[in-house]
Chains A and B, each alone.
Chain A
């Protein structure tokens, strides 16, 4: 009896502590959505009302869409993230297969190189890669956003670990059927690796959809901006106190990933925590 009440109390206390922490975690989201619904007079009046006294949701969201080509930015974001991921898979999968399932001289050296490259943060190669793109004359293009990221050593590492668990019999059977090694990679290995590919895809898309540093460096044409860069310009261009539309823009930028996350939580958490497995 006493035991029961104390665990019940304990459980209530735990939820209370978590709720308190959640105030800190959720406050920016609440502020963002609340402000995105308010008229500028309402915002200027101040106060802690979360529900607008004077609604301006439609105005704010349409102004956010009209004042900047926000939809164009989002489209750019989609193009860039999809191309990066497609190229990463195209390049990483064959290499991962060779590392996991073929015996060849230099295999351990190549794998050691992959592990070494895992340590190199993107900022560390920024200057030479920028100069390379400059010499190639492709700064300020989609290519300059995509090219530097088409090699994912993390993807190679991850897929290699996954391929190690695929039974050799499967590959031998495919060889007996006269399949080439290239065909084995795409028609035998890739289909078995769908869960790992999904996790890798989520990891990759999140990283590049949210990336700010690289687009900031290579882009100058506004029509190529990705969402993070777009919203940063929105803030500086629409100075002063048009906070309503600014918060509406922020809401729309984070919406796609947050909604996708709420629908597929487990997959997203797996995808993101993959970085923890390095």
Chain B
């Protein structure tokens, strides 16, 4: 047995590895200590609540009750029968379906216009960005006044043109479209600055190369260079706007309360009503799960598109 060799190595090795282990244990401990508060709070305020919402949606719990029963899919079954829910889903999808494309295309158009200017860029950017900054609640109230049938600027203008003024926010046919206008008004500037960031990152020489190849019309510049190179940004902007639009709440709460006749009922507003007006926590939890499914679906589609994205 080559005992002497192993002995010498044997006595040296453990000492080193114990030392290393201690050091790495200490390093591990520090890392855990540094991230423990964040981890604890993530569990308490984010991950835990999502799991609780999921479980609660299978119960009949309502806030203040001492106990609850498991009711399986009863809350989800109720949703299918619930006219308010059906209306809320339809309206939310319609809202997203209009606000997203409108604010994305207007944002892109504005960004391209501003980027192509030789002077005045900062000025126009500031102007279009203003609604993003302004407290939406305050501005919703201003919009309400603008749309006021008797005193509002818009109604006055229409009257001047000989057109009928109405209480746009109180009419079944116009309440939701007015909320969409406010939504587009607010999202446009946000999308614009994201596109502007994307546009400045497109290398100039690509346009020069295109020009050498004989494609110099702004049409071909857009379709051969700008649009494909901008597609990752566009995807981001679409996803962010969609997620934000799914959460539309402030103007609905203060201006229409989902009315008239649920004409402007949207998902988060119904969630608020069920959860915090009627205190039907379990049903509201079910609505939350539906909301989360939409949000995760959007994110999932995004990552699938990103995988397939073969531009450049």
Interface residues of A (CB under 8 A from B): 11, 14-15, 17-18, 21-22, 24-32, 35, 43-44, 46-48, 91-92, 94-95, 97-99, 102-107, 110, 113-114, 116-117, 119-121, 123-132, 134, 147-148, 150-151, 153, 156, 181-182, 185, 206, 209-210, 212-213, 216-217, 227-229, 231-232, 235, 241, 243, 246-247, 249-250, 253-254, 257-258, 261-262, 265, 268-269, 272-273, 275-276, 278
- Contact mask B165-194 → A, CB, 8 Å, 1/0? 000000000000000000001001110011
Interface residues of B in 1-50 (CB under 8 A from A): 27-28, 30-32, 34-35, 37-39, 41-42, 44-50
Contact (Cβ within 8 A) B137 A94:
no
List CB contacts (< 8 Å) of B123-149 with chain A.
124-139, 141-143, 145-146
A43, A128, A257, A275: the one within 8 Å of B53 (CB): A128
Q: Given A91-B37, A153-B42, A265-B126, is A232 in contact with B151 using a C-beta cutoff of 8 Å?
A: no
The answer to whether B114 has its CB under 8 Å from any CB of chain A is: yes
Which of A28, A98, A213, A268 gathers the greatest number of chain B CB atoms within 10 Å? A28
State the majority secondary structure of interface residues on B. helix
Cβ of B52 < 8 Å from any Cβ of A? yes
A227–B53 Cα distance when bound, in Å, is 30
Partner of B127, one of A26, A229, A231: A26
Cβ contacts under 8 Å, B125 to chain A: 265, 269
> How many residues from B make CB contacts under 8 Å with A?
90
A124 touches B295 (CB 8 A): yes
Q: Does B250 contact A (CB under 8 A)?
A: yes
Chain B residues near A113 (CB-CB < 8 A): 39, 42, 47
Q: Which of A18, A243, A275, A278: most chain B CB closer than 10 A?
A: A18
Give every chain B residue within 8 A of A99 (Cβ-Cβ). Answer: 35
With A22-B124, A126-B275, A247-B142 known to touch, is A14 a contact of B116 (CB < 8 Å)?
A: yes
The distance in angstroms between the C-alpha atoms of A153 and B39, with both chains bound, is: 10
Chain B residues 98-133 with CB under 8 Å of chain A are 106, 110, 113-114, 116-118, 120, 122, 124-133
Give A103 to B285 CA distance when docked, in angstroms: 39
A44 to B152 alpha-carbon distance, docked (Å):
10
Instruction: Give chain B residues whose Cβ lies under 8 Å from the Cβ of A47.
Output: 156
Cβ-defined contact, B247 with A121, below 8 A: yes
B46 touching A151, Cβ below 8 Å: yes
> Given known contacts A46-B151, A95-B35, A95-B38, is B126 in contact with A121 (CB within 8 Å)?
no
